[in-house]
Structure 1
Amino acid sequence: MSDDEDEIVDSDTSLFDGSFDAIDSLGFGPLVPTETERSLMERVRQELKHELKQGYKEKIVHIREEILRKRRAGKLPGDTTSFLKAWWQSHSKWPYPTEEDKAKLVHETGLQLKQINNWIINQRKRNWHSNRSTSLKSKRKR
């Protein structure tokens, strides 16, 4: 290669080596994009952003629906809860429903048997066992 060809290769290499300190053709310092180039870069950036959003939009919607479904899953309707609490109050000394009680609760609330069983089990864990242990402690102090 001639010296001129070496200079061309060197200048081409410096433009593509990843450094942003390239000197423009007139030797005035770093290259600064023109307004048109900035506009083009912004438009390309916006298009890429839009493509990424479209690509992940379905996944994001699915995840959002799953989160909302899980959030709603643990909540029973207020009137159903009121009915179950009324049963709980009337059976607070021994909150173990018979099969007939369970069938009546299923019919009255519209819940599944498993939901009724879980609600009663959770109520006993949250309220009944703690109330019983508190009353037993107070009896021991006497």
Structure 2
Amino acid sequence: MSDDDDEQVDSDVNQFDDGNDSMGFGPLIPTETERSLMERVRQELKHDLKNGYKDKIADIREEILRKRRAGKLPGDTTSVLKAWWQSHSKWPYPTEEDKVKLVEETGLQLKQINNWFINQRKRNWNTNGNASSSSTALKSKRKRS
């Protein structure tokens, strides 16, 4: 909680204070002891709130950092995937068993493996000019299945 938040809370509280005590004798002015107690309570509340949300804040920071790092896979990981790709260049569609092995070897998630192969096929087939012949092979392979 920032000092601005403290001021907002004070403002909200004062909104309901008509400046008179319950007996109609004028504004209630807290004593020095009461002010000290109110400040201590405010600081304790601020501390408790920060500690209560500390783990959540850390999780959010980690997620933000993870998203910033997203994009490139480690070199040793891609070398495993590329080796599989090269040894299966005629039909670069890993079976479910192949994917499970690749997950174990690379430490990636299944979704990452699937996406890598999707992207690799797009990159490879488009740069090699094989997109049309590969799609024809894919169609004929699907028909046989």
The normalised TM-score by structure 2 is: 0.43
Which has the larger Rg?
1
